[in-house]
């Protein structure tokens, strides 16, 4: 029997855990021609998630748990689950039931048709703020223009990966991980199933603006060098302006009598060029920070304990 691994990252999900676990189990047992394992990655939760998890591991031979030593973030939690799964296919799904477990059935069908990656594509996104919808939409269009990989629009991390694609993905050990971009980069035969994204079943989002911005900058800086070229681009433009300015100044000085001492122009030029230089320095700093992070070669995550893996 083929084994399907389902990975669920959890960060302070005590309110949704039981329901999520129940719904997932229903769907997975209905796929009776497959064996399955359900791996919960506890990403340093500070609430009762751990106790609930331990309980589930004790009572259900299908359930396994990975306990991080602290919060390492969603993308790393996904990676740890995938690292530790044995399935012929692995599925990543959020704990909050925003991704409907039922879509797994369709994903498995596509997998059987020979696709190596089946991602979930959001048709509707109920209950998400206009701000999130608009920023997400523009962000994906932006990153696809900047980078060589084509990240499918309106997808998250809800997806199935065949072992072949999974092993390639896992061989990429970069620290700043934008998982959906990395999976797109891996290639193979990819397709999607559509689903309506629900509102979060309970609890609050674990992605505050700061984490979202971090993910966005990871995505851009890991998948594109275009921002680095902005420096030269702006340099050329300002030089062109400066050149025109010089010609103008010379003309006024040599052929007319109404030239002015004009410190306004001077101020503006200094401020503008100073601003541009600082922006560009910041961009370069973003890349250097990441080089620094990568070069330390620290492990991606630290596991406190693993439960249920010897069953």
User: Do the Cβ atoms of 41 and 9 come closer than 8 Å?
Assistant: yes
C-alpha distance from residue 142 to each of 7, 39, 132, 231 (Å): 29, 34, 15, 18
Minimum CB distance to Mg ion, residue 199 (Å): 9
Which 8-state DSSP code applies to residue 210?
A: H
Contact partner, 10, from Mg ion, ligand UDP, none, Cβ < 5-8 Å per class: ligand UDP
Q: Which stretch binds Mg ion (CB under 5 A): 90-98, 149-157, 249-257, 278-286?
A: 90-98
SS3 label, residue 155: strand
* Per CB under 6 A, 21 contacts ligand UDP: no
At closest approach, how far in Å is the CB of 41 from ligand UDP? 7
Q: Is 13 an interacting residue with respect to ligand UDP (CB under 6 A)?
A: yes
Nearest-angstrom CA–CA distance, 83 and 69: 17
Which residues 6+ apart lie within 8 Å of 28 measured at CB?
4, 6, 34, 36, 38, 62, 104
Q: Least distance in Å: CB of 67 to ligand UDP?
A: 12
Q: Is 165 in the site for ligand UDP (CB under 6 A)?
A: no
- Residue 191 pairs in a beta bridge with 118
Interface map 21-40 toward Mg ion (x if CB under 5 A): --------------------
* 96 counts as binding ligand UDP under rule CB under 6 A: yes
Binding window for Mg ion (CB under 5 A); candidates: 26-34, 89-97, 212-220, 252-260: 89-97
By beta-carbon proximity to ligand UDP, the closer residue of 46 and 229 is 46
Who's near 282: CB < 8 A, 6+ residues apart?
none
Q: 95 to 124, contacts with Mg ion by CB under 5 A?
A: 96, 98
Among 14, 15, 94, 218, binds ligand UDP (CB under 6 A): 94
Under the binding rule (CB under 6 A), the answer on residue 162 touching ligand UDP is: no
Q: Which of 310, 298, 308, 278 is nearest to 60 (CA)?
A: 308
Pairing of β 117-125 and β 89-92: unpaired
Of 79 and 98, CB closest to Mg ion: 98
Contact 58, 50 (CB under 8 A): no
Q: Closest separation between CB of residue 291 and ligand UDP, Å? A: 24
201 binds, among Mg ion, ligand UDP, none (CB under 5 to 8 A by kind): none
Stretch that binds ligand UDP, among 115-123, 200-208, 222-230, 233-241 (CB under 6 A): 200-208
Smallest distance from ligand UDP to CB 140, Å: 14
Counting every residue written for the chain, the total comes to 311
What tokens were used for 307?
């439960």
Strand stretches in the chain, DSSP E: 3-10, 35-42, 63-68, 89-92, 117-125, 155-162, 190-197, 303-307
Q: Indicate the DSSP class of residue 152.
A: P
User: Considering the rule CB under 6 A, would residue 220 count as an interface residue with ligand UDP?
Assistant: no
Encoded one letter per residue, x for contact with ligand UDP by CB under 6 A and - for no contact, window 66-85 reads -----x-xx--x--------
Residues found near ligand UDP in the complex (CB under 6 A):
9-11, 13, 43, 71, 73-74, 77, 94-96, 98, 205-207
Residues found near Mg ion in the complex (CB under 5 A):
94, 96, 98
């Amino acid at each position: 029997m083929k084994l399907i691994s389902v990975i669920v990252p959890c960060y302070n999900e005590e309110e949704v855990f039981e329901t999520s676990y129940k719904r997932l189990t229903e769907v997975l047992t209905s796929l009776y021609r497959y064996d399955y394992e359900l791996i919960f990655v506890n990403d340093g939760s500070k609430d009762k998630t751990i106790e609930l998890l331990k309980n589930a591991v004790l009572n259900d031979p299908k359930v396994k748990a990975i306990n991080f030593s602290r919060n390492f973030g969603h993308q790393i939690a996904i990676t740890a689950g995938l690292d530790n799964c044995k399935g012929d296919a692995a599925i990543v799904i959020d704990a909050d039931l925003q991704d409907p477990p039922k879509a797994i059935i369709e994903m498995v069908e596509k997998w059987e048709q020979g696709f190596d990656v089946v991602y979930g594509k959001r048709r509707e996104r109920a209950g998400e703020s206009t701000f999130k919808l608009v920023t997400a939409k523009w962000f994906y269009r932006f990153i696809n223009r900047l980078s060589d990989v084509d990240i499918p629009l309106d997808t998250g991390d809800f997806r199935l990966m065949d072992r072949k694609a999974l092993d390639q993905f896992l061989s990429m050990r970069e620290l700043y991980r934008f998982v959906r971009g990395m999976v797109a980069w891996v290639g193979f035969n990819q397709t999607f199933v559509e689903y309506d994204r629900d509102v979060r079943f309970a609890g609050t989002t674990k992605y505050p603006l700061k984490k979202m911005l971090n993910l966005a900058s990871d995505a851009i800086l890991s998948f594109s060098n275009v921002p680095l070229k902005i420096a030269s681009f702006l340099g050329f433009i300002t030089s062109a302006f400066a050149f025109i300015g010089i010609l103008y100044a010379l003309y006024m000085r040599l052929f007319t009598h109404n030239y002015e001492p004009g410190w306004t122009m001077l101020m503006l030029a200094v401020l503008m060029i100073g601003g541009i230089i600082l922006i560009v320095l910041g961009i370069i700093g973003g890349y250097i920070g990441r080089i620094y992070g990568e070069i330390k070669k620290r492990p991606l995550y630290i596991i406190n304990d693993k439960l249920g893996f010897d069953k």
